[in-house]
Homo-oligomer: A and B are copies of this chain.
Amino acid sequence: MIIDKLIEKIKTTENPTVVGLDPRLSYVPKHIQQQCFDEFGKTPKAVAEAFFMFNKELIDATFDLIPAVKPQVAMYEMLGADGIDSYIRTIKYAKEKDLVIIGDVKRGDIASTAEAYSDGHIGRIDVEGNKFEIYHEDFITLNPYLGWDSIEPYMANCKAYEKGMFVLVKTSNPNSGQLQDLDVGGKTLYQHVGALTNEWGKDLMGKYGYSSVGAVVGATHPEQAKKLREIMPNTFFLVPGYGAQGGKAEDLAVCFDKDGLGAIVNSSRGIIAAHQKEQYKAKYSEMEFALAARHAVLNMKADLRRCI
């Protein structure tokens, strides 16, 4: 079970931090940008290459401290085919370092369409009997608005290839309540989705009491996360919103169980663009962006461990 590998890596690193590999050109140091522009011109292909080089150094500087990375596919997909190539190369490189990969794709579709996403992202593509692994993620994020029909097509690949998913339950954005907080018969919609998600995970239970069907639960709503922790005892939480989006470590404690497990907390900009923050600028040059990221990971680890 992939959830067991994630938990074991969290135990080994003593760090429930996932680094969000959501690059933007403005985060990438000038020397990398220049090298890519020199080779490919000022093109999407150059940006895609710059993202890979940027990610590679970030992974090299942090892989021993963290259990997982979470590349956000939108940042790559926006660049077209070259971007998807960069996304896949990033994942392959992170896997060489034995990191768990959470592909933040938030797909949500049904039937043969969902099977296509499933086979491409976490399964195999069959071409006349030849099997190809395309994206190499360990987990992907999924949107539940279409119901079980949009989750079930992933289960077979999860079982066959030891993969998992995180279902969007309660997101971290200011407007997340517009649908998610609606009252559906005495509970909120997100609680309903949470209970369903916990149920959907029963078939993929690992040995530490958690399922490979996890949930995205935003860090910006501690009261809500506390309630979800109660109604989703077997569901591991992927928690966005720490740092840049205003979520504090104190607020996150409710996402964890008494053993300090049960959640992994994402930080993207706060780590990958640490070299641009006042706090790290004095100590690290732009060339040393990856060392700044390492420092930011250590600070985040200390911050989280203080509270859980």
Q: Which residues on A are within 8 Å of B, measured CB to CB?
A: 22, 24-25, 37, 42-44, 46-47, 72, 74-75, 77-85, 88, 106-114, 116-117, 119-121, 125, 127-130, 132, 134-135, 143-150, 168, 171, 173-180, 182-185, 189, 192-193, 196
Contacts and interface: CB of A to CB of B under 8 A. Distances in A.
A19 to B, nearest CB: 16
Contacts of A112: 22, 24
Contacts of A171: 110, 145-146
Q: How many copies does the complex hold?
A: 2
Contacts of A37: 128
Nearest to A181: B147
A34 B150 CA distance: 33
A47 B127 contact: yes
A46, A79, A114 — most chain B CB neighbours (10 Å): A79
A143 B179 CA distance: 12
Contact of A80 (B43, B47, B134, B182): B134
A119 B44 CA distance: 12
A208 to B, nearest CB: 29
A290 B295 CA distance: 59
